[in-house]
Chains A and B, each alone.
Chain A
Amino acid sequence: MAIGESLKLYWLYVKLSIRAQLQYRAAFLLAALGQFLITGIEFLGVWALFERFGRLHSWSLPEVAVFYGLVNCTFACADALSRGFDQFGVLYIKTGHFDRLLLRPRSTILQLAGHEFALRRIGRFVQGLIVLVWAASVLNVEWSVARVSLVLFSILGGACLFFGLIVMQATLAFWTTETLEIMNTLTYGGVESAQYPMAIYHVAFRRFFTFVVPLACVSYFPVVGILGIADPLGSPWWFQYLAPAFGILFLSACLVLWQWGIKHYTSTGS
């Protein structure tokens, strides 16, 4: 099937989903506001710690705010697009609805991605964006074309990475039926840790989030490049500009895993 046709179909899914959510306007606004508040208080904590301690090694509050804002925007995008995979165990495997998806002449990935476009995630996105814009205005960084494209590239790479993690979580459900909460440590835990520069963490933890789950490649390294500072971990500048590509690679690997997982699917038959 042509890519263009898939995209058109996907766009149709998104439009429908948005229209459905806006039917309950008050509920949508409340949900978005809740997201904004719950994720926003995290930054209150970051601010208070800087207020108390002044600096975090060589890092200042606006610098950490770039890490914070970027990963929150990124995760909000991935989270909004991946509801179908996130709820996969509960909504599709347990109920046996996945059988229906398999019968349709379109890829399962397209159908699950189109399950819902979670508009309420805009709450997290907006608070991340506010922090990011504030940091950008305070920091003494020259916003060249290269830097702005690196911001966009790392958001794309990061969204792919988190999307990949959620696809992996859904893949596991082929065997476990239930959605495994443990994967939350990688998604939400990943967001939590990427809000601060990776350089402050224990070396084993850092290696895990670089080589196993390439989270540092979509947050830490590009942000160092955006800030234009010397990396305490010693990465060269060209790597900082290339690193977000690992997020896209990670997603591709997860989708291959997904296709392989489908072969092992047995319906619950209900």
Chain B
Amino acid sequence: MKRFLPYRAVVSARYRMLLQYRAAAFAGLVTQCFWGAIRLMIVAAFYAASTQTQPMSLPEVVVYIWLGQAFFGMLPWNIDEEFAQKVRDGSVAYDLLRPVDLYAFWYSHALAYRTAPTTLRAIPLGCLAILVLPRLGLAEWALGAPPSWASGVLFGVSLVGAAALSTAITMLTHISLLWTISAAGMDRIMPAVVTVFAGMVIPLPLFPDWMQLCLRLQPFRGLVDVPFRIYSGNIPPDVALLEIISQGVWVGCLVWLGRVLLARGARKLVVQGG
């Protein structure tokens, strides 16, 4: 167990630091709620006007939207400014000297960066959507419980998978800095790619049928589409297991790719002096 101590320390230190910003979290909460409300009203209007059956029911989309608002921060859409700074001013050299596995060390950093602010946001937003909305007489817009225990438990597992996947993708963008130095490119392109392919713009099953196969075969759907549809039961528990395995396979592939690239990048890295 002692082997993991440095990585655990990194995660907990980041958590404690990020939990300091409570006012920012409150502002974020209000923003997410407002955003969720707009999305709900738009989708509901589409459903109200339509008579055909859709690949997702409206209550399933409601779940999708609330969970999307709650776990928005977990998406790998940006680069940790602190890390970018490290690469820019050359202090990345210190990390190379540490007697730890570099990939695992940075992965722990990135994991905390992805999950700490999200916890702060997801818990209050979840409480609001689960407990407060029904009391305001808005029960049909509330975030209900999963349809079965199995769905709930599998959602938990796939959420952990999503966090691992998100961190693995963040690592790839971080490692790309070893070549590009500037984070500007990645920070501009990633939000567009991630939000579309994860399912944050609209739930993936609502895209046209001819796009579905392509959407199925890309890693980003493991971030949003898979866990949220498991929660609502749109992906039934027996299929969910398969989906979670494919999430795991993607994590494995991306971690492997990250390690290969990091080994290469670290070898030819030119440390910026200063």
Instruction: Give 1 or 0 for each of A185-220: 1 = CB within 8 Å of chain B CB.
Output: 100010011001000111001000000000000000
Contact yes or no, B202 A205, CB < 8 A = no
Contact yes or no, B196 A41, CB < 8 A = yes
Which A residue sits closest to B210, measured CB to CB? A51
User: What residues of chain A have their CB less than 8 Å away from a CB belonging to chain B?
Assistant: 27, 30-31, 33-34, 37-38, 40-42, 44-45, 48-49, 51-57, 178, 180-182, 184-185, 189, 192-193, 196, 200-202, 205
Contact yes or no, B192 A37, CB < 8 A = yes
User: In the complex, what residues of A have CB within 8 A of residue B13's CB?
Assistant: none
Knowing A37-B188, A45-B202, A200-B45 touch, does A51 contact B27 (C-beta < 8 A)?
no
B242 interface hit (Cβ, 8 Å): no
B206 contacts which of A52, A181, A192 (Cβ < 8 Å)?
A52
B184 interface hit (Cβ, 8 Å): yes
User: In the complex, what residues of B have CB within 8 A of residue A185's CB?
Assistant: 30-31, 34-35
What 8 A-B pairs have minimum CB-CB distances, sorted nearest first?
A34-B188, A200-B45, A45-B201, A37-B192, A181-B27, A185-B34, A45-B202, A53-B46
| Chain B at the A interface: SS class | helix
Stretch at the interface among B36-44, B80-88, B102-110, B258-266: B36-44
B179 interface hit (Cβ, 8 Å): no
CB distance from A206 to the nearest CB of B (A): 10
CB distance from B180 to the nearest CB of A (A): 11
B20 interface hit (Cβ, 8 Å): no
User: In the complex, what residues of A have CB within 8 A of residue B34's CB?
Assistant: 185, 189
Contact yes or no, B31 A181, CB < 8 A = yes
User: In the complex, what residues of B have CB within 8 A of residue A205's CB?
Assistant: 37, 41
For the complex, give the distance between the alpha carbons of A182 and B28 in Å.
7
Contact yes or no, A192 B28, CB < 8 A = no
B99 interface hit (Cβ, 8 Å): no
Contact yes or no, A189 B27, CB < 8 A = no
Which B residue sits closest to A40, measured CB to CB? B192
Which B residue sits closest to A195, measured CB to CB? B42
Contact yes or no, A193 B38, CB < 8 A = yes
For the complex, give the distance between the alpha carbons of A57 and B45 in Å.
7
Which A residue sits closest to B56, measured CB to CB? A52
Contact yes or no, B201 A34, CB < 8 A = no
